[in-house]
């Protein structure tokens, strides 16, 4: 699953290495089997991704709520990451209004802590996607533009790829397949290639071939 919110944590055991490889290969069932039962927060974080990929949303919610509560109780300034993950769960489960509230709460925490461009860009991507799904096109495009500026400041190709992908999706939803969508998906593919995400780049190639005119 391509998502700009992935934690940049060291992998602590061979199981975690193998689970990450399984997720990258689109094999969430295998990843879940490797990660279930691990108490380490990094393992539980990636298990949440596997559950989302398997549409096991209740389990993912419960896992990320517990991680959030533990991080808050420990005074971890990175607890906002689990607000983000809960928002991702709700968005993927189709509960877009609930997801937006979580991402807005995360945004407030980012502002409170004065966190940087990459964190804002990752959050802004989700705000834009949720707003657009709720029919709020103008705020969605404003959030997307702000996220692009932050991602460019952070010089992060993965986040830029996600933002270009969203731009293409917005264009398809608003105008149908056309030049704006084609250009956005082409830019997304280039960014994903720069980030080394072959699966995401291949997805953009498939969209260009199957959904968007290439003339």
pLDDT per residue as tens digits for the range 128-183: 999 999 999 999 999 999 999 999 999 999 999 999 999 999 999 998 878 999 99
Quick one: average pLDDT of 188-193?
A: 98
16 pLDDT higher than 50: yes
Which structural domain, as residue segments, surrounds residue 154? 119-215
Q: Are residues 131 and 209 in the same domain?
A: yes
Under the banding of pLDDT at 50, 70 and 90, the label for residue 2 is very low
Q: Are residues 157 and 100 in the same domain?
A: no
Q: Are residues 162 and 178 in the same domain?
A: yes
Task: Please state the domain count of the chain.
Answer: 2
Longest pairwise C-alpha distance within the chain: 55
Q: Last residue of a domain, which of 69, 99, 115?
A: 115
Under the banding of pLDDT at 50, 70 and 90, the label for residue 13 is low
Q: How far apart are the first and last CA of the chain?
A: 29
- Counting Cα atoms < 13 Å in the Cβ hemisphere of 121 gives 23
pLDDT at 17: 86
Q: Are residues 139 and 67 in the same domain?
A: no
- 4's CB contacts (< 8 A; 6+ apart) are 121, 122, 125, 156, 158, 159, 162
Q: Are residues 81 and 127 in the same domain?
A: no
Quick one: average pLDDT of 20-46?
A: 91
Q: Are residues 125 and 110 in the same domain?
A: no
Lookup: tokens for 167: 């731009």
106 contacts 143 by C-beta, under 8 angstroms: no
30 pLDDT higher than 90: yes
CA–CA separation, 151 and 161 (whole Å)? 10
Q: Last residue of a domain, which of 115, 132, 156?
A: 115
Q: Are residues 20 and 54 in the same domain?
A: yes
CA–CA separation, 86 and 112 (whole Å)? 19
Q: Last residue of a domain, which of 115, 140, 170?
A: 115
pLDDT at 3: 44
Q: CA triplet 36, 37, 38: central angle to 5 degrees?
A: 95
Q: Are residues 47 and 93 in the same domain?
A: yes
97 pLDDT higher than 50: yes
Under the banding of pLDDT at 50, 70 and 90, the label for residue 99 is very high
Quick one: average pLDDT of 53-82?
A: 95
- CATH code, domain carrying 215: 1.25.40.10
Length of the chain: 215
Q: Are residues 92 and 167 in the same domain?
A: no
Q: Are residues 124 and 184 in the same domain?
A: yes
């Amino acid at each position: 699953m391509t998502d700009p919110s992935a934690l940049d944590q060291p992998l602590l055991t061979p199981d975690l290495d193998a689970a990450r490889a399984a997720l990258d290969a689109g094999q969430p069932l295998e990843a879940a089997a490797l990660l279930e039962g691990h108490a380490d927060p990094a393992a539980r974080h990636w298990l949440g991704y596997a559950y989302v990929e398997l549409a096991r949303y209740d389990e993912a919610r419960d896992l990320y709520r517990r991680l959030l509560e533990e991080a808050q109780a420990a005074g971890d300034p990175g607890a906002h990451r689990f607000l983000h993950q809960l928002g991702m769960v709700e968005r993927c489960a189709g509960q877009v209004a609930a997801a937006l509230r979580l991402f807005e709460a995360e945004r407030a925490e980012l502002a409170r802590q004065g966190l940087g461009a990459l964190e804002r860009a990752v959050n802004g991507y989700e705000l834009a996607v949720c707003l657009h799904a709720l029919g709020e096109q103008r705020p969605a495009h404003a959030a997307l533009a702000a996220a692009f500026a932050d991602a460019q400041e952070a010089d992060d190709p993965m986040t830029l790829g996600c933002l270009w992908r969203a731009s293409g999706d917005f264009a398809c939803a608003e105008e149908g397949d056309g030049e704006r969508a084609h250009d956005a998906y082409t830019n997304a593919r280039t960014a994903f290639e720069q980030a080394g995400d072959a699966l995401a780049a291949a997805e953009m190639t498939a969209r260009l071939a199957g959904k968007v005119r290439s003339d």
